[in-house]
Amino acid sequence: MNVEKLSKYGIEDWFIEKLKSKDIGKLYKHQENVLKKGLLNGKNFVVAVPTASGKTLISMFAFFPHLKKRRKIVYLVPLVSLANEKYDEFREYFDRYRVALSIGDYDSADPYLENYDIIVCTVEKFDSLIRHKAHWMNDIGLVVIDEVHMINDPSRGPTLEIVLTRVKEMFKNVQIIALSATIANVDELAEWLNAEYVISDFRPVKLVEGVLLEDLIKFSDGKEISIKQGITPEEKITRFVLGKKKKQTLFFVSTRKKTEQLANKLSDVVEKYIDEKERSELAKISNEIISVLESPTDQCKRLAELIKKGIAFHHSGLLYKQRKIIEENFRKGLIKVIVATTGLAYGVNLPSYCVVIRDLKRYYPGIGTYYIPVLEYIQMVGRAGRPKYDKEGIALTIAKNEEMMDEIFTRFIYGEPEELKSKLGNELVLRSQTLAFISIERQVRKEGLNEFFSRTFFAFQYGDVSEILDRIHQIIDKLNDWKFVEVKNNLLKITTLGKRVSELYLDPKSANLLINGITKYSEEKSNYDEFSLLSLIANTSEMRFLTRVGNREFDKIISFIISNENKFLFNVPSEWDLEFEYFVPSVKIAKILYDWINELPENDIVKKYNITPGDLRGMIEIADWMFYSLAELARLSKAMNMISDINKLRTRVRYGVKEELLKFVRLEGIGRVRARKLFMHGIRTIDQLRKIPSATLSFILGPKIAKKVKDQLAINEKQKSLKDL
């Protein structure tokens, strides 16, 4: 079907012209089918088609009837990286409408969103908006859920399931569109969502899957290719792919450490395939990478050196800005090879001519080493083939012997993905969502709570929800003990404290820990210090799983705990209790943050604790949220004598400085390193900074930063003068 015919479905001419300007002249068959089945008539749909087959465009067609009625569109994604990508895409396509991105600050109803037409949200953010009863939600006409197969994920799936259940219950006239590349039981999910479904195995770029054994690649279409250049399988594949003009490779491996190891091994091979012009551009990109931090870490330097050779590693331990730089320049074709962990398969749109899944097995703690799910394999191979560039994409795996090759073909290439299964049994999610349900309703009978959970995907799949309901009733008893809920006979009523805990998007168990810590600190303040508060927030479920403790670290941390037991604002669990296993990593996190606020250089921190800059930034970000929550709970607890301590420590954690530098780091361009330079040069106050000659400041900070600082101080002075008028 030609795109001109979209007008008969109510798609406006300007959008059709936009499609044509992007060389989209015809619709794929499944796109046409979903229109014919009533997409623009308000029907719910589940769309299961391969990656790069136009799923997002299908959802964009559905925007039009709602925009005409001045109804809002909410587009939900599981990851922040994907949210940013969709936000940019919708701003480009719908430039005559107002597009918003809402991904942070869980303690806000974001009232400004009332003025926007298309809102891109993470699932967790949308969940928090529901808890805050954002009044503009009454204007929602369409909810799109991208990557809906994440309902199968043990960590993110339960929240997505509850959000979808709420959308079905709270917004009766809202259209729901669920998108995925891989759903085996699409009919079951569609029935739960009261939706039509469209499935297709069509790909605009043909996918050929193969297995490399020694020097021979056997493909799923029966072809065989001999590749002999190189020693290792990875080197052979790299030479084979880069030997083709403008082709790139994306390797998937199982761990962050392996991404760096393989990228380093392949760097000399990749370097041979870049020309002088590319070498010059890559040097600039390398400089960007190393300049992300004021003081680059060893990891930053390793990555920067590899990028000069046209290769990069990519994992969650990198800083967000570094990952964006890598992705952008891979799309441009400057970076020829990326070695990544599997998380990249679920994130941004990053197609490659060749995808190599090197590690088909993974170690699962407490279980052992097993093959990855077929669902995950399909997500990764979906990255193979660049629309508009390639006629086909190839996805390769590596076999050690004939037996393994047969297993790969049977299990992965010819195998079927696993069916999506509810993971609602997650205890943490059940605690949080039970409290949230009561908070939203203000008060509810137990039967009402039972009815809600009886309408979840879990209940739809398994029928018998008695086990879940038994656990929920045990949770209610806990919520009552913690004074978050009042239970009177059959009636559940939210308390002021419980409502605030739900709004703060805290695990109720974490909130109870914080409240008890507030009481202890407030009553015996002189006995505790900044480490006490750091260890308190680090012991919450939101933080304690952010790192692991290696065997070499364990004894040192045990010794530290014994020596500092009186510093903790909670009872330290017995070394023989299961709880102790979760407590030890929290102490490591507290020690990391303590060193951070006492200005231990970032590179020293990551080496000392065997973490990455990305790990550290993740801890800082969540710690900021936890300190904000701690201050809010302290206000409710009337512990006013500790709010100043909390807020001061929160700011120190955000910037990684001692208290004496707080006045400087609030200035744009001044981080912990430059702030310390100012202090070492005898500058103690903002007034001194304002009066120091520009030439002297340039000597300390460099001309560009010095000018930026002086400009800010001049603006601040001008604003101050205007206030005096």
Same structural domain for residues 178 and 214? no
Tell me the mean pLDDT in the region 123-127: 96
Provide the pLDDT for residue 300: 95
Three-state DSSP state, 151:
helix
**Judgement on whether residues 648 and 683 belong to the same structural domain of the protein:** no
Average pLDDT for residues 338-342, to the nearest whole number? 94
Give Cα 103 distance to the centre of its chain. Answer: 10
SS3 674: helix
Query: The domain spanning residue 170 has which CATH number?
Result: 3.40.50.300
Within 8 A by CB and 6+ apart from 105, the residues are: none
Show which of 352, 378, 413 is a domain's final residue: 413
Q: Is there a single domain that holds both residue 23 and residue 169?
A: yes
How confident is residue 355, by pLDDT bands cut at 50, 70 and 90? very high
Is there a contact between 360 and 371 (Cβ–Cβ < 8 Å)?
yes
Co-location of 533 and 610 in the same domain: yes
Three-state DSSP class for residue 435: helix
Q: Provide the CATH number for the domain around residue 684.
A: 1.10.150.20
Averaged pLDDT of the chain: 92
Tell me, what's the pLDDT at 722? 41
Instruction: Tell me the C-alpha to C-alpha distance, in Å, between residue 606 and each of 2, 295, 297, 595, 648.
Output: 55, 13, 8, 11, 24
Residue 725 has pLDDT above 50, yes or no: no
Cα–Cα distance for residue pair 56/66, rounded to 1 Å:
16
Tokens of 161: 């399931």
Residue 339 has pLDDT above 90, yes or no: yes
How far is the C-alpha of 302 from the C-alpha of 284, rounded, in Å? 15
- What is the domain range of residue 395? 206-413
Three-state secondary structure call for residue 724: helix
CATH number at residue 549: 1.10.3380.20
Q: Which residue has the tokens 């530098």?
A: 661
Residue found under tokens 């979209």? 6
Judging by DSSP bridges, how do beta strands 249-252 and 206-213 pair with one another?
A: unpaired
Residue 120 belongs to a domain: yes
What is the tens place of the pLDDT at every residue in 403-436? 999 999 999 999 999 999 999 988 899 999 999 9
Same domain, 469 and 512: no
Q: Is the same domain home to 651 and 512?
A: yes
Q: Are 524 and 517 in contact (CB under 8 A)?
A: no
- Looking at the structure, tell me whether residues 165 and 257 fall in a common domain: no
Distance CA 347, CA 79 (A): 7
Q: Which residues contact 47 (CB under 8 A, 6 or more apart)?
A: 30, 34, 55, 58, 59, 177, 178, 179, 180, 197, 198
> Phi, psi (5° rounding) for residue 249?
-130, 140
Please tell me whether residue 254 adopts helix, strand or coil conformation.
coil
Examine the pLDDT at 151 and tell me if it is beyond 80: yes
Q: Are 463 and 482 in contact (CB under 8 A)?
A: no
The pLDDT confidence band at residue 719, using thresholds 50, 70 and 90, is low
Q: Of 600, 633, 656, which residue is a domain's last?
A: 656
For the cut 60, the answer to whether the pLDDT of residue 724 exceeds it is no
Cα 306 to Cα 2: distance, rounded to the nearest angstrom:
45
Contact 434, 476 (CB under 8 A): yes
Q: Does residue 347 surpass a pLDDT of 70?
A: no
C-beta of residue 175 within 8 angstroms of C-beta of residue 34: no
294 and 214 within one domain: yes
Q: Which residues contact 654 (CB under 8 A, 6 or more apart)?
A: 620, 624
Residue 488 lies in a domain: no
Per the CB < 8 A criterion, the answer to whether 590 and 619 are in contact is: no
- Exposed, middle or buried: residue 222 (CB in 10 Å: 0-12, 13-18, 19+)? exposed
Q: Which residues pair with 175 in a beta bridge?
A: 142
Enclosing H/E stretch for 175: strand 175-180
Question: For residue range 63-119, what is the model confidence (pLDDT) as tens digits?
Answer: 999 999 999 999 999 989 899 999 999 999 999 999 999 998 899 989 999 999 999
Judge whether 20 lies within some domain: yes
Query: Per the domain annotation, does 580 fall within a domain?
Result: yes
Q: Is 281 part of any domain?
A: yes
Last residue of a domain, one of 629, 656, 683: 656
CA-CA-CA-CA dihedral for 706, 709, 713, 714, to nearest 10: 60
Assess if residue 499 is contained within a domain. no
Structure-token pair, residue 344: 């990249």
Q: Are residues 706 and 680 in the same domain?
A: yes
Sign (positive or negative) of CA dihedral 313, 622, 708, 102: positive
Quote the pLDDT of residue 244: 84
pLDDT tens digits, 642-698 = 999 999 999 999 999 999 999 999 899 899 999 999 999 999 999 999 999 999 999
Treating both helix axes as pointing N-terminal to C-terminal, what angle do 508-523 and 613-636 enclose, rounded to 10 degrees?
70
Residues 224, 331: contact at Cβ < 8 Å? no
Is 493 within a domain? Answer: no
Q: Into how many domains does the chain fold?
A: 5
**Are residues 151 and 27 part of one domain?**
yes
pLDDT digits (tens, 9 = 90+) for 188-246: 999 999 999 999 988 889 999 999 999 999 999 889 999 988 889 999 999 999 988 77
Q: Is the pLDDT of residue 378 over 60?
A: yes
Examine the domain organization and report whether 531 and 408 are in the same domain.
no
pLDDT surpassing 50 at residue 571:
yes
Tell me: the pLDDT tens digits for 549-565?
988 899 999 999 999 99
Give the mean pLDDT of 137-160. 94
Q: Which residues pair with 396 in a beta bridge?
A: 210, 356
Amino acid at 475: I
Buried residues in 437-474 as b, exposed as e (16+ CB within 10 A): bbbbeeebebeebbebbbebbbbbbeeebeebbebbee
Measured at the CA of 675, the angle between CA 674 and CA 678, to 5 degrees, comes to: 90
- Give the DSSP H or E segment for 676: helix 672-680
Question: Do 120 and 102 touch, CB atoms closer than 8 A?
Answer: yes
| 501 domain-assigned | no
Tens of pLDDT along 394-409? 999 999 999 999 999 9
Q: 256-291 pLDDT, tens per residue? A: 999 999 999 999 999 999 999 999 999 999 999 999
Confidence of residue 717 (pLDDT cuts 50, 70, 90): low
The answer on 679 and 531 residing in a single domain is no
Burial class (CB in 10 A: 0-12, 13-18, 19+), 576: exposed
